[in-house]
Chain A
């Protein structure tokens, strides 16, 4: 069972990334690929600060802010220089690779010899690392979910949600869509960096390639979560679904590794899980409403159609 618990613990950390991707991909309707650079940025900033003996909590907060800056850059590239969303994200991601190397000073930083949040707390509370990671991960996820629930219920948050749905309407209602996009992307990448800051401490090292494939993990978590929680209307529970999605994803990875399957097979198993999740939601709702994942797709189609008609 231990390997499942470890999978859940890791899943709760990756859930922060999934929530970040959800902000850009679903709420802002912005396919932001800076994700892969931001999670590594969070890990590199946190780990270099830890090796300088900084307080782990402070190091995590600074990593979050660094992620916000990265998101702001993507936002500025898109809104001020009118670079398309995907390209803006790729540019930031590419630039971040060099920046991360500069921050870390090498491609790898070991955190075995410095106190991290996990080592400090396990010795202070006298519990084992897996238990601690489960409690800590749950608390952090709930905290972030509550913060997001509050933020998107405010005037500013409502403006950001509306920006992702209908920009023309937003401008007609006096919303500066450049600003709302930048704030949304900053927050999204901040959360992704937060995920990286926890991850490097959990695994005891930071690596320049930590972020490779992370966008797929984020998207898979969202799709799994939405498929399972397809009938949920409450925003807090929707966010909870994303967290569950991320945890399920890590459980699958844990199972693959436990049964001595090659790590090469992790990706094909991911694809299988996402397909199964989509099938389940489809058949469960066969006579009911469409799942939110499908609904989103048909909304997208609708939007594309409108765009075509406008041209």
Chain B
């Protein structure tokens, strides 16, 4: 997709500390470097406070970083405001409430997403052609949403909202898709369905994606590359054949070896 051989996402020595200069200072990202090639689907795991969400939020521009550079497809976006960077990035959040506007209709939400990266004008907010396109896309999700296009999003279940958010995130072919534990708030069956939809959309649109998860099995089963984070750094990076052959036990083993600590997340262990 990129004209030169740029990585789709390049994080160069990025550092982010919260509560700097106080006794509570927490270094969330510590000179972290990471390159994603076009089409990479990277799963991110790590204990609580390892910096996984901070990593995604830094890429998305939710806050300025202290040091380092962030390049998306060769474009330096380090100083670009969140809403401007949104042009390149699709995002799905952990909380199903976050990704959509509850008091607006399904089709209105999609229409807003379809205009990501464009100036919002005084043209009518949704066209007839779009409605038809959205209906087909919603039908693909197989959740019956295509017949409820004018229903308020607040009436949907958490899983339906996440599926809709995924559709909104991928509607304009983003250069980068950021999934921040987007199935963590869902029941296992719904989570599996939303993951299936994620896989499908990433595959169809040949997207470059970063997916944070607490579920090690999911981290192994999805994507072509896996990174493990600890104290704001990447401590384990595996792809291809080696990743396919990973097991949850091997991952936990790897974690205690590299970090010198027990894997400190009950959630991760329980989801084994």
Binding site for B on A (CB under 8 A): 151, 153-159, 161-162, 165-166, 168-177, 299, 306
**20 CB-based A-B contacts, threshold 8 Å:** A153-B125, A154-B125, A155-B122, A155-B125, A158-B104, A158-B111, A158-B112, A159-B120, A161-B104, A162-B104, A162-B112, A165-B102, A166-B97, A168-B98, A169-B98, A171-B82, A172-B82, A173-B113, A173-B115, A174-B117
Mask, B75-93, CB within 8 Å of A = 1, is 0000001111011010101
Q: Which residues of A lie under 8 Å from residue B101 when comparing CB positions?
A: 161-162, 165-166, 169-170
Query: Which residues 86-144 in B have Cβ within 8 Å of A in the complex?
Result: 86-87, 89, 91, 93, 95, 97-104, 108, 111-113, 115-118, 120-125
- Contact (Cβ within 8 A) B83 A154: no
Contact A174/B116 with A153-B125, A165-B104 known, Cβ cut-off 8 Å: yes
Q: Which residue in chain A gives the minimum CB-CB distance to B152?
A: A233
- Among residues of B, the one whose C-beta sits closest to the C-beta of A158 is B125
Interface pair A175/B83, CB less than 8 Å apart: yes
B83–A177 contact, CB under 8 A?
A: yes
Which chain A positions have C-beta within 8 A of B125?
Answer: 153-155, 157-158
At the interface, yes or no: B229 with Cβ under 8 Å from chain A? Answer: no
Interface centre among B60, B84, B120 (most CB of A within 10 A): B120
Residues of A within 8 A of B59 (CB): none
Could you tell me the distance in whole angstroms from the C-beta of A72 to the nearest C-beta in chain B? Answer: 18
A12→B168 CA distance, assembly (Å): 41
| A172 close to B86 (CB less than 8 A) | yes
Question: Which residue from chain A places its CB closest to the CB of B102 in the assembled complex?
Answer: A165
- Pick from A155, A168, A299: contact of B120, CB below 8 A: A155
Q: Which residues of B contact A166 (CB under 8 A)?
A: 97-98, 100-102
Q: A165-B103, A170-B101, A171-B83 are in contact. List 16 more A-B contacts (CB 8 A).
A: A153-B124, A158-B104, A158-B111, A158-B120, A161-B101, A161-B103, A165-B102, A165-B104, A171-B86, A173-B116, A174-B87, A175-B83, A175-B120, A176-B81, A299-B103, A306-B97
Q: What's the least CB distance linking A196 to chain B, in Å?
A: 27
Chain B positions within 8 Å of A170 at CB level: 83, 101, 112
Partner of A158, one of B60, B84, B99, B108: B108
Say which residue of B99, B100, B115 sits within 8 Å of A155 (CB atoms). B115
Shortest beta-carbon contacts, A-B, top 8 = A174-B86, A158-B125, A155-B120, A174-B116, A165-B101, A156-B120, A162-B101, A172-B91
Q: How far is the CA of A161 from the CA of B99 in the complex (A)?
A: 15
Q: Which of B87, B89, B99, B121 contacts A169 (CB 8 A)?
A: B99
Query: How many Å from the CB of B113 to the closest CB on chain A?
Result: 5
In the assembled complex, the Cα of A169 lies from the Cα of B116 at a distance in Å of 11
Alpha-carbon separation in the docked complex, A171 to B168 (Å): 13
* Alpha-carbon gap, A177 to B121, bound state (A): 15
Shortest beta-carbon distance from B191 to chain A in Å: 20
- A154 to B104, Cβ gap below 8 A? no
CB distance from A38 to the nearest CB of B (A): 24
Q: How far is the CB of A256 from chain B (nearest CB, A)?
A: 36
**Interface flags, B209-252, vs A, CB<8A=1, else 0:** 00000000000000000000000000000000000000000000
Contact partner of A173 (CB less than 8 A), chosen from B81, B93, B112, is B112
Closest to B97 in A: A306
Q: Please, which residues of chain B bring their CB within 8 A of the CB of A155?
A: 111, 115, 120-125
* A77 to B251 alpha-carbon distance, docked (Å): 51
